[in-house]
Structure 1
């Protein structure tokens, strides 16, 4: 795990380290269990690793890469989608004024509600067991989950904030700001650095993250690969 910055290849660092228990491995390729996540990584772009990646997609479904450069062409796979994103790091907290809300940890008993909220709001890839990747926090009203945020990839020394979403009925109340700040504070309390990703076109989200002290580290390519059914 030396020779590169963990944030340059966050999925690789996480799947070889703290998230190894979620990894499915073939040759020099690895991916998250599809019930947990969609991200994949190559140990190196070798023929063995590319063949392993193709085998993982054939067996487990689409994968995604979130790195500065798009992955190399893989025999048997096609690019399903590609979009420009940004990677931001929050070393210095700057929460500003936060709403007074009751935030609580979410657990297995909340899994169905979390998946339903993510399915409705589409904050990014979220599956039946995504909540097991790390701590998730939520805001409820009358027993109804209105907003949540949590942890996703965990490269060495860093933890990604993800799954940030608010029900349409509760937007404009500052819930996302409060939850991101709370998740980031917990990450820093462990001696780690919070980071996150956003689509470059999502100006509103990027502005929110900047207001919370996150700064741009680099642009990234969000590339989703699937089986080439024409072959």
Structure 2
């Protein structure tokens, strides 16, 4: 173990934990703590920059506009970047419209209530790859395979044994990939799936969180029913030109 690097990681985590918006920095601090990302830069004045080991996305936590410029100068062309703070996005690529999402975090003291939907939930595997690929198009095939191999994707099955939907954990330790098949919607399955994953995360001593587009009314309503609340800052994704 590189004790120097581990010390730098501990210092970066302490920097983020000391911030007033620390709860909103979970998508950066949690994968770093879990060893799913690499620390690329940290400075008490400028901020923190990490990179996911799977997929290579950079996560930037600027502490100021000056810090944003310092962090962005370290991100190569062609990289996908997630920026903690929508106001900093134009400093990276002023001519590119970013994709921005609110961070929803569960801060309750007990388990998440999944409602009364009658489905059983189990971890999916490579045999379920085709069913996922037919309905979910936000991740590359290799990433979906990786998540299946790691046991990060879970499916819901009705009494007839049919797969009715699925949910997964992203590399940044956030909940996502939530999909209920059209013919099985409006039966409470989405709530049951997300609650099951949230409770699994809680059982591991972690905090459940996920990103939702501001205009996704149905997903926002689901988060509210499950007891999640918005934590700032808002995250924006930008793909740098090559």
Match of 2:76 among 54, 60, 63: 54
Cα distance change of structure 1 residues 184 and 96 upon mapping to structure 2, 3 Å threshold: closer
Cα distance change of structure 1 residues 183 and 172 upon mapping to structure 2, 3 Å threshold: same
Matches within 5 A, 1:42-81: 42=60, 45=67, 49-55=71-77, 57=78, 62-69=79-86, 70-71=88-89, 73-74=91-92, 80-81=96-97
Matches within 5 A, 1:108-147: 108-119=126-137, 125-128=138-141, 129-130=143-144, 131=147, 135-140=152-157, 145-147=163-165
Cα distance change of structure 1 residues 145 and 213 upon mapping to structure 2, 3 Å threshold: same
Cα distance change of structure 1 residues 32 and 2 upon mapping to structure 2, 3 Å threshold: same
Q: Shift in Å at residue 37 of structure 1?
A: 4.3
Matches within 5 A, 1:27-38: 30-32=50-52, 36-37=54-55
Max Rg structure: 2
Per residue, is there more strand in 1 or in 2? 1
Over the aligned positions, Cα root-mean-square deviation in angstroms equals 3.4
Could you give the per-residue CA deviations for residues 105-138 of structure 1, whole angstroms, max 9, x where no partner exists?
112332333233212xxxxx42222425662210
Distance 1:192 1:138 in 2: 21
Matched, 1:16 2:32: yes
Cα distance change of structure 1 residues 18 and 108 upon mapping to structure 2, 3 Å threshold: farther
TM-score by length of 2: 0.69
Per residue, is there more helix in 1 or in 2? 2
Could you tell me which runs of 5 or more consecutive residues in structure 2 were left unpaired when the two chains were aligned: 1-12, 43-47
TM-score by length of 1: 0.72
Could you tell me which runs of 5 or more consecutive residues in structure 1 were left unpaired when the two chains were aligned: 120-124
